[in-house]
Amino acid sequence: MTVGILAGAIVAADRTNVFGVTLASLTTPEPTPTNQPQNNDKSESLSTVGKQTLSAQTTVDGTLGYADSYPVLGSLNGTVTWLPEEGQIIKRGGILYRVDGEPVLLMYGTMPVYRDLAAGDDADDVSGQDVKQLNQNLVAMGYGEDYELDPDSDDYSWRTREAVEDLQDALGVDDTGEIERGQVIFLPGPVRVTDVKATLGGQAGGAVLQASSSSRLVTVNLDTSQQSELKVGDAVTITLPNGETTPGKVTSVGKVASTPQSEDDTPTIEVQITPTDPKATGSLDQAPVEVNIITDQAKDATVVPVEALLSLAGGGYAVERVSATGEHKLIRVSLGLFDDDASVVQVTDTELKPGDRVVVPSS
């Protein structure tokens, strides 16, 4: 559906001599549409005034991909012995890569590991946000239940040590009860491998992988002149490369405009849109899509066929209403939103009401 705001340049039916009555005579100096012409024109029919919701929309280009970007940095000494494939999704407890045959695990969190983690003489000897993240992940992975490990604890207690040993047993590595810096990498959630930086047989330090989140995202570079038309939470429709459509919501509207690359370019802001049904978007990355944005909406709008409009000689529009008794009367209207797929237009500031019948030309 292509819907827009109806400007004065709309093409309307210009019936300036309806039933022998010249509309110009009704508009000088101010049209008072009280004339009641007789219907002698058999080429016209009647349509019922309706009531519905109309939306003004605009279509912009976007790019479908994945949200966020994370560098996966190695801090272990050793040789890279296994790497994932590009496009692979890795979740909590999954293996990001291997060093000297041993796994480097993904756990969820925002603070990177910056030290070795092991129990001290007292429970609070080793504590902090990184320990809390470890406890939360151990519980989420099912390794803390037997020891009543508190996921909100930021202490590396004996309970943490026992849960770590169970994890190490499950992985088939030495159950030391300690986490060496680099054996676990904290990232905000599941990741999708976008680029493999390291080489099999190479050293494990430095950039090993580049990853994104597994969340689908549409990015639009919106002209700054359209910035006011969008806000976070607005509903949109995404047209995928295969022609299918799926709904989405605006999750971010940039505040800083980009610098045009040339004189022909205009400043833009980045708009991020999250598909409501991510599975419907498939797995394409950096795919071109179209985004249909609702820029205005009129609920319970009174609508008439566009063909029913009469352009008045003195400016403005009217429609010709026909009563139940067959009486014809010209009714002035103001125009709002229009739907050119359904060929209807919103009319306001008028005595016209839903259920009235108006004259339209017969096809």
| Average pLDDT rounded to a whole number, residues 107-117 | 95
* CB of 3 closer than 8 Å to CB of 337: yes
Beta-sheet pairing, 328-339 with 344-348 = antiparallel
> Which of 40-44, 76-80, 193-197, 326-330 has the least mean pLDDT?
40-44
Above 60 in pLDDT, residue 2? no
User: CATH 2.40.420.20: which residues of the chain?
Assistant: 3-56+297-361
CA atoms in the 13 A half-sphere facing the CB of 304 = 32
Positions of CATH 1.10.101.10 in the chain: 115-180
Please tell me the pTM assigned to this model.
0.69
Helices (H), the chain: 129-140, 158-171
Residue 93: closest CA among 195, 193, 183: 183
Distance of CA 337 to the CA centre of its chain: 24
User: What fold, for 71-106+185-214?
Assistant: OB fold (Dihydrolipoamide Acetyltransferase, E2P) (2.40.50)
Which top CATH class is 3-56+297-361?
mainly beta
pLDDT for residue 25 is more than 60: no
Could you tell me if 75 and 179 are in contact, meaning their C-beta atoms sit under 8 angstroms apart? Answer: no
pLDDT for position 229: 80
> What's the average model confidence in pLDDT over 289-314?
92
Q: Name 242's Cβ contacts closer than 8 Å, sequence gap at least 6.
A: none
Domain 59-66+215-296 has CATH 2.40.30.170: yes
Find the distance separating the first CA and the last CA of the chain, reported in whole Å: 22
Q: pLDDT per residue over 143-162, tens digit each? A: 988 899 999 999 999 999 99
Every domain range in the chain assigned CATH 2.40.50.100: 71-106+185-214
Identify whether 29 is preceded by a cis peptide bond (ω within 30 of 0): yes
CATH superfamily of this structure's domain 115-180: PGBD-like superfamily/PGBD (1.10.101.10)
Dihedral angle computed from the Cα positions of residues 167, 170, 176 and 179, in that order, rounded to the nearest 10 degrees = -40
Q: Could you give the 3-state DSSP secondary structure of residue 25?
A: helix
Contact predicate 311/14, CB 8 Å: yes
Question: Of 11-20, 48-57, 283-292, which gets the smallest average pLDDT?
Answer: 11-20
C-alpha distances out from residue 363 to 14, 37, 45, 91, 195, Å = 15, 22, 9, 61, 60
Instruction: Give me the pLDDT at residue 67, please.
Output: 95
Determine the pLDDT at residue 8.
Answer: 36
Residue 257 has pLDDT above 60, yes or no: yes
